[in-house]
Structure 1
């Protein structure tokens, strides 16, 4: 028993002997390798990349939302400054048809003064609008003249683009092509595409693109030349019943409206040219240069410098900003640039002014005396080309309508007052054949009833125009 006990003690003693330092270090390292402690990570890179990605996504979505609302009429109108919204509220829109094969568009018109007085119609040049002449027509109204300012299509509050159905052979990207093919297969069904593949041995891509192009809707900027301007002016004047009237043309409006004046000189009582030229004062060609156009129309500072250098140094910052907003919004830039290409730069003002019909119109030329030397010389050339026209100078720049509105209104109203009062031509519209037949039947029935002593036969007159309930016979 003692031996067994001693052996147990020896075993216990062996188990109680502490290991050596080297053995302890080895075992400790083994434990560390088996159970490593977690190291603390730096959170800075994660939050940096997260913030960067979130910021980029916010910028992209914001830009897309702004781009989508850029051409939305309601969003664009609500973003306008109060002066522009008030100007729109004070005016009216008229439906006109620029080309016979196109849908009608809306033209904005601003008026001031009594309609029973002399009518003065003001047409602006490219890049401007009726907003520039709001103070002029208000001053004319206070002087007893009915002032009307028209926004030519592509400018101001008039329509600047139209919806075109059918894209023709317009090139589109790969993604757009895939979407169109997928959309048509969804519309026609998978079996339609399969049948076409069996018959032709190939995917009917050409037919798919042809069908999609015929249904594609896109916006096309309105291109305004002299012929289009003539149609617009004729419809506006006829709709408002302004003829005969006194016409005022500013800047490049001379080249745009010259055809209409030549064809309708009987309706023009007088003609006033304010710093009129074939090329607009605002260099619109620069708005077709990528990069430059974004800077000029995107920032007030750049556009103000351009206007101050070429058009007017007297305009306030709010006035320049209003013109920038109207020129930028709703595809306005595209419209004026397209219209600039259609201007007749070979227009001869002397030949036009001395032609039959035009030479008999009382005419005055109002020119800037504060412009450059070259511009003053051009004014002298215009005066020599139109020897029958009265020549005056004003104290403003090439865009004097806002800073010198009272001065211009004085020139116009005084010139109009020196002429004999206009006689309005009232034309009766023919009564439709169906209405005329109803009137004759009602009249015949009335004569018959009067012979029999009945006095209610005329009850059918108002019913013929849809104002009554029944026709009594």
Structure 2
């Protein structure tokens, strides 16, 4: 059906008829214009197409498509993304808390197994000054046996601690020998890091967040904005300077031969051990060789226990990301590494203790820093035949069960140190726990073969005022003041002066 619509200036003409049938027409005039004469209209006819409406049954597919019913949304995507975000946030907070607890000495100590806590309780710490512009470092010392007997001090290699030699020093103590095992700084229970104040060291994202929070607490939230309004500049340099001046970060202790010499000197002097029978295990030879060359008068004898320049534990793998996390994070992985390179006779609890001590309190960073400072070009023949070491009795205890390559290495050491006594043991490169009684026997026989050592006692300087009083007392002069509060010869006598 087609419609025609005509537009006139004063009236409208509408014809409603089929396209080919135009016989019927209707005219309508407006009532207000009925008095006007009839005009021949000019019409503008437009064509409009009639909208066709199709009836669709209510149950057909087309009705469903044109009039869709509201459907409920699938809740699965929302809960999926919510679970992912919540899990990531939880993992982040747990990681931060674990990282903080590892660096917190109290939390770390409480998490130790009973055997390690007992070992720590049996020892003591000594403060040593390695560098004059740094704070003192605490060094852990474990000892057993009578203090007035022969002193045997054991120095461990990198990756170990005094805990590995606890059974040896107890066996030495039961034989009447004073056994001492120390934890070199960066290892065991000794300090592994130091607090550095100031500087522009990288402290990580968490450290920077703490710095910004502390700056807001001190200066206020709008301090930088107020400064920018007053001066027109953002106080960026002042912020950086303020942050660097108050920045406190942890720096891993990197121990070389020079630092080891200072540590050994102060520990031996503090405990009054000189002269000592020195036992150097694994890579301790490269660390303590300088101290031996500089202090031959303080060394009674030297025993090298499977000593080498490079540590038996392949510490280089701890440089590799992901691998180091797996090795130090899982007991079975660390056990495989130790069994492969160090010892196959150690129990899982013993290996677990070494893993915990190596991992906790920045231990990995400290050991790797010390590894970089090792003198890998160390010549054992030149050192053993030097004037300082040539007169010191030497003993080499070497494993015969590791491999043919290691046995050949022992023969080379024996040829380089021709004056040394060479014996073999049935253990591995870490034999101190599985073969402690065998090693104790070798050390005891070697130490007992020498005459009894006479300890050198260093005299403490007498203050000037006390020396003046002592000089007056020796002169026998008459004076009217009383010398109360001082013992004879500055505490060396038995009576009190009056």
Normalising by the smaller structure, the TM-score range is: 0.7 to 0.9
| Mapping for residues 76-115 of structure 1, pairs under 5 Å | 76-115=108-147
Instruction: Report the Cα distance in structure 2 between the residues aligned to 1:340 and 1:76, rounded to whole angstroms.
Output: 24
Aligned to 2:61: none
Give the drift of 1:167: 2.6
Question: Residue 355 of structure 1 corresponds to which residue in structure 2?
Answer: 386
**CA deviations over 1:83-131 (Å, ceiling 9, x no partner):** 0000000000000011121110100000010011000000000000000
Q: Which moved more, 1:161-170 or 1:115-124?
A: 161-170
* Aligned-residue offset at 1:54: 4.8
Give the structure-1-normalised TM-score.
Answer: 0.82
Deviates more, 1:139-148 or 1:41-50: 41-50
Q: Structure 2 length normalisation: TM-score?
A: 0.78
- Report Cα offsets for 1:415-439 as digits up to 9, x if no partner: 0111111011123212212344566
Q: State whether residues 117 and 145 of structure 1, in contact with CA within 8 Å, keep that contact through their aligned partners in structure 2.
A: yes
**Superposition pairs for residues 107-126 of structure 1, below 5 Å?**
107-126=139-158
What SS does structure 2 have at the residue aligned with 1:136? Answer: helix
Aligned to 1:210: 241
Which residue of 142, 151, 174 corresponds with 2:174? 142
* 1:15-164 correspondence to structure 2 within 5 Å: 54-164=86-196
Alpha-carbon distance in 2 for matches of 1:383, 1:152? 27
The correspondence for 1:342, drawn from 361, 373, 388, is 373
- Cα deviation 1:326-368 (Å, max 9, x = unaligned): 0000000000001100000000000000000201000010000
| CA deviations over 1:357-415 (Å, ceiling 9, x no partner) | 20100001000000111111111000000000011000000000000101111001100
Instruction: Kindly state the Cα deviation for residue 168 of structure 1 after the two structures are TM-superposed.
Output: 2.6
- How far does the alpha carbon of each residue in 1:142-177 deviate from its partner, in whole angstroms, 9 at most, with x for none? 111100001000000000000001133648669948
Q: Evaluate the alpha carbon distance shift between residue 445 and residue 350 of structure 1 in structure 2; reply closer, same or farther with a 3 A threshold.
A: closer
In the alignment, the residues of structure 1 paired with residue 467 and residue 225 of structure 2 have an alpha-carbon distance, to the nearest angstrom, of 58
Summarize the Cα distance change of 1:247–1:180 in structure 2 as closer, same or farther, 3 Å threshold. Answer: same
| 1:226 equivalent in alignment to 2:235 | no
Q: Secondary structure at the match of 2:452?
A: coil
3-state SS of paired residue (2:240): helix
Three-state SS of the structure 2 residue aligned to 1:99 is: coil
1:264 aligned onto 2:313: no
Of residues 281, 287, 294, the one that matches 1:250 is 281
Q: CA RMSD in A?
A: 3.5
Q: CA deviation at 1:61?
A: 2.8
Contact 1:296 1:303 (8 Å CA) reproduced: yes
C-alpha separation in 1, matches of 2:454 and 2:215: 62
Indicate how the Cα distance of structure 1 residues 190 and 436 shifts in structure 2: closer, same or farther if over 3 A, else same: farther
User: How far apart are the structure 2 equivalents of 1:126 and 1:401?
Assistant: 14
The question of whether the paired residues in 1 share the 8 Å contact of 2:172 and 2:179 is answered with yes
1:228-270 Cα distance to aligned partner (Å, 9 max, x none) = 0000000000000000010000000000000000000111010
Q: Kindly indicate whether the alpha-carbon contact (under 8 Å) linking 1:119 and 1:242 is maintained by their aligned counterparts in 2.
A: yes
Q: What's 1:295 paired with?
A: 326
Asked if 1:319 is matched to 2:356, the reply is no
Question: Residue 6 of structure 2 corresponds to which residue in structure 1?
Answer: none
Structure 2: distance between partners of 1:181 and 1:174: 11
Number of the residue aligned with 2:363: 332
SS at match of 1:95: strand
- Determine the C-alpha separation between the residues in 1 that align with 2:220 and 2:77: 51
Helix, strand or coil for the counterpart of 1:428?
coil
The structure whose Rg is larger is 2
CA separation of 1:271/1:169 partners in 2, compared to 1, >3 Å: closer, same or farther?
Answer: closer
For residues 396 and 105 of structure 1, the distance between their equivalents in structure 2, rounded to whole angstroms, comes to 34
Structure 2 Cα separation of the partners of residues 472 and 358 of structure 1: 47
Unaligned runs of 5+ in 2: 1-57, 59-69
Task: Choose between structure 1 and 2: higher helix proportion.
Answer: 1
Equivalence map 1:182-193=2 (5 Å): 183=215, 186-187=218-219
Corresponding residue of 1:427: 458
| Match in the other structure for 1:17 | none
* Structure 1: distance between partners of 2:458 and 2:130: 25
SS of 2:277 mapped into structure 1: strand
Task: For residues 19-45 of structure 1, give each alpha carbon's deviation from its aligned partner in whole angstroms, at most 9, with x where no partner exists.
Answer: xxxxxxx9xxxxxxxxxxx99998877
Q: Helix, strand or coil for the counterpart of 2:258?
A: helix
SS in 1 for 2:361: helix
Residue pair 2:272, 2:457 contacting (<8 A) in 1 also: no
Q: What SS does the aligned partner of 2:362 have?
A: helix
Match of 1:393 among 420, 424, 438: 424
> Which residue, 360, 366, 371 being the options, matches 2:397?
366
Query: Cα 1:208–1:149, aligned 2, differ >3 Å: closer, same or farther?
Result: same
